[in-house]
Amino acid sequence: MRLSQYFLPLLKETPKEAQIASHRLMLRAGMIQQSSAGIYSWLPLGKKVLDKIEEIVREEQNRAGALEILMPTIQPAELWQESGRYDDYGAEMLRIRDRHDRDMLYGPTNEEQITDIFRSHLRSYKALPLNMYHIQWKFRDEVRPRFGIMRGREFLMKDAYSFDLDADKARVAYNKMFVSYLKTFARMGLTAIPMEADTGPIGGDMSHEFIILAETGESGVYFHKDWLNTDLITDIDYDQDLQPVVDKFTSLYARADEKHDPDNCPISAADLMVLRGIEIGHIFYFGEKYSAAMGATVSGPDGKPVPVHMGSYGIGVSRLVGGIIEASHDDKGIIWPDSVAPFGAAVVNLKPGDAVCEAAAGDLYEKLMKAGLDPLLDDRDERPGAKLASMDLIGIPWQIVVGPRGMDNGVVEVKHRKSGETVEISPESALNKVLANDIA
């Protein structure tokens, strides 16, 4: 992409309304624009990152055996009346009336909708296990939308729903999602801590919130210091028994502050750390709650109908954009992990119009493009300082800077955004270094 042909409305000033780094940086980097409280447009750079995150989530859901579907954003009130949540959900639900005076709502989540799909088609345990997910916009009329897209009113969520014959089988489904979440977040460069969460009134349910550590997190987290050096999950065989893997991770202490009891903490004070966390995912086993209320039953091996056991599994796809920035930035701007970076490399031409610089920058740009790195060419007519600052701001992993002084000596400058490493080498060596992702 040539920056002169792109839409990247960078802000020089720090927006006053933004209280946390990710919100500030997303506005300054021209990623989003507020439409109304908690509702945002995604501009080209933001949309690109959002798509990359979404794709990682999708790939890992597919690998774990979940099937992608797409349910609507607008749902009929009747479904929620059946489950009893139409009244319970309260003011967070955006209620809509259509031209025929039918009560509708903008979905805050989709348990009812998916249960309706299930009961319309499936009657036998032989169809199980089944896990279906979608990646769809949700609306929750949050009391305090804030921190940009981190707590929005409209936000993109991946929500999966599992169906099993009994609680033991449901645990297998739960464990698959548990482990796949660790891998999903690891691919984004994040260490996510699964934290035992409230399970509501029905005892014996399982629930974990996945949180990443960040000063600006909304909840306090007490955790074992070994969380800071656990191995990230990179490879999983979903056919094996995952319980030992889950046990290994859940044996390391992690609790939200309201669930942490200092008098009965199983680990020593020396091992205990407290920091703040951002919730990026939440998995839940709730048994027959919706299936019983909505008549989603299957006949078991003995021919008797039983309500199906369900779980639901959310990931805050749009929240992750902010979460990753909270976890990875400095005072100059965003530092994207390679896997979600909007562009793989930037070629900065410090002197557009100069024949030598143009030729060298254009050549590097073409070669990076051919190599599939999706480069950005900064060919704007701007001050060199402003160009370099904006590349730091938008956080592209590699920058190759082409300027007239360097070209006189046959060199360009290569900068690695994360490590700060800077070297002056020939354009060819620069290309090789970037393509090899060769960080000193």
Lay out the site mask for ligand ATP across 160-189 (x = CB under 6 A, - = otherwise).
Answer: ------------------------------
Nearer to ligand ATP, 23 or 319 (CB): 319
Residues 6+ apart with CB under 8 A from 2: 377, 379
Q: Is 140 in the site for ligand ATP (CB under 6 A)?
A: yes
Q: Is 279 in the site for ligand ATP (CB under 6 A)?
A: yes
The one segment of 23-31, 274-282, 300-308, 336-344 that binds ligand ATP by CB under 6 A? 274-282
Is residue 3 a contact partner of residue 378, using CB atoms and an 8 Å limit?
A: yes
What is the nearest approach in angstroms of ligand ATP to the Cβ of residue 315? 6
Q: Is 378 in the site for ligand ATP (CB under 6 A)?
A: no
First to last CA, the chain: 27
* Rounded Cα–Cα distance for residues 313 and 208 (Å): 10
Q: And the tokens for 383? A: 């001050």
| CA proximity to 290, closest of 313, 312, 260 | 312
Residue 355 buriedness (CB in 10 A; 0-12 / 13-18 / 19+)? exposed
Based on its alpha-carbon atoms, the radius of gyration of the chain, rounded to whole angstroms, reads: 25
Q: Is 54 in the site for ligand ATP (CB under 6 A)?
A: no
Cα distances (angstroms) measured from residue 191 to each of 208, 211, 212, 235: 15, 8, 6, 15
What is the nearest approach in angstroms of ligand ATP to the Cβ of residue 32? 13
Local structure of 17: helix, strand or coil = coil
Q: Is 277 in the site for ligand ATP (CB under 6 A)?
A: no
* Rounded Cα–Cα distance for residues 418 and 324 (Å): 14
What is the nearest approach in angstroms of ligand ATP to the Cβ of residue 172? 21
Q: Which of 30, 107, 152, 375 binds ligand ATP (CB under 6 A)?
A: 152
Q: Is 142 in the site for ligand ATP (CB under 6 A)?
A: yes
Q: Is 281 in the site for ligand ATP (CB under 6 A)?
A: yes
Q: How many CB atoms lie within 10 A of CB 301?
A: 9
Question: Nearest residue to ligand ATP, using CB?
Answer: 316
Torsion of CA 155, 160, 166, 169, to 10 degrees: -130
* Rounded Cα–Cα distance for residues 135 and 66 (Å): 12
Considering only residues 307-336, where is the footprint of ligand ATP by CB under 6 A? 314, 316, 318-319
* Rounded Cα–Cα distance for residues 179 and 5 (Å): 42
How many residues at the interface with ligand ATP, by CB under 6 A?
15
Lay out the site mask for ligand ATP across 86-125 (x = CB under 6 A, - = otherwise).
Answer: -----------------------x----------------
What is the nearest approach in angstroms of ligand ATP to the Cβ of residue 288? 20
Q: Is 151 in the site for ligand ATP (CB under 6 A)?
A: yes
The residues that touch ligand ATP, with contacts defined as CB under 6 A, are 109, 140, 142, 151-152, 155, 157, 279-282, 314, 316, 318-319
